[in-house]
Amino acid sequence: MTDSLLASWAKDRFAGEDFHCKKGRVYVISCGTRTYTWFVKEGVLFTTAQSERGEDELANTIWQKDCMIHSLDEDTMLPLHALTDCVLVRYPSEEINRQLKEDPELGWLLAEHYHDQFTSTLAKYKHAALDASEDQLEYLEDLFSQIDELEGERISDATLATFMGMHRVSVSRVRKKLDEQKTSTPPPAVRPIDSYAATPPPQVDKLRILAEEPPDIERSAQPEIARPACREPRHAGRI
């Protein structure tokens, strides 16, 4: 079950409540006494989680249109960072759980969806296995450039620092270093178009071509037949 199918399934069966998020703002979801399942209707967000020491926030997951944010209980507070203007919709988890109990096949499809979502999340965080911070930064910038909603927008140092577990000043230094490397590397030499037009065509000796005898197509097309060597007759006299 894909994200879009799951989102449309919830929309057709339950009465949802919309929440609007402004770009660049951080929102904290607190469920209170009820649990909810959230979907992204529009925009791009990412969630953060505390590090093991509880000192820094590290990026957790990128959420795009139709993505389902996992169910939250009353004690969970989930920070959401809006990379664009976003619209979220929430449904009571108890109603969804009731549907899953009545339809076991639907529960299996939902479990499969969770597996695919977890696998894709791991695939997006290959930068964690990269040693050099330059490689991590280049990978993340390439990852964000593939998100259509961002429209090639330059991601802030603070956002990249959250993903990389670094201070934004350090990210700014790495970015500056990469920009200097790009500017110092000379581009490959390209021959201008005018130079091709100015180059005279090669001179061809037309008289020599006309004087050449054309090949005998009929003879050359026939296979050669091996013939025995001619011998002189025994009675032939010699001079």
> What is the rounded (10 degree) CA torsion for 71, 84, 173, 166?
-10
pTM over 0.75, yes/no:
no
Higher per-residue pLDDT: 116 or 51: 116
Nearest Cα residue to 72 out of 21, 34, 27: 34
CA distance 49 to 2: 25
The answer on pLDDT for 7 being more than 80 is yes
Residue 46 has φ and ψ, to the nearest 5°, of: -140, 145
For residue 47, the model assigns a pLDDT of 81
> Using CA of residue 109, residue 111, residue 115, residue 120, what is the dihedral sign?
positive
In the chain, alpha helices (H): 3-13, 93-102, 104-123, 133-145, 157-164, 168-184, 193-198, 206-211, 217-221
φ and ψ at residue 157, rounded to 5 degrees = -60, -35
pLDDT tens for each residue of 168-190: 899 899 888 888 887 876 666 55
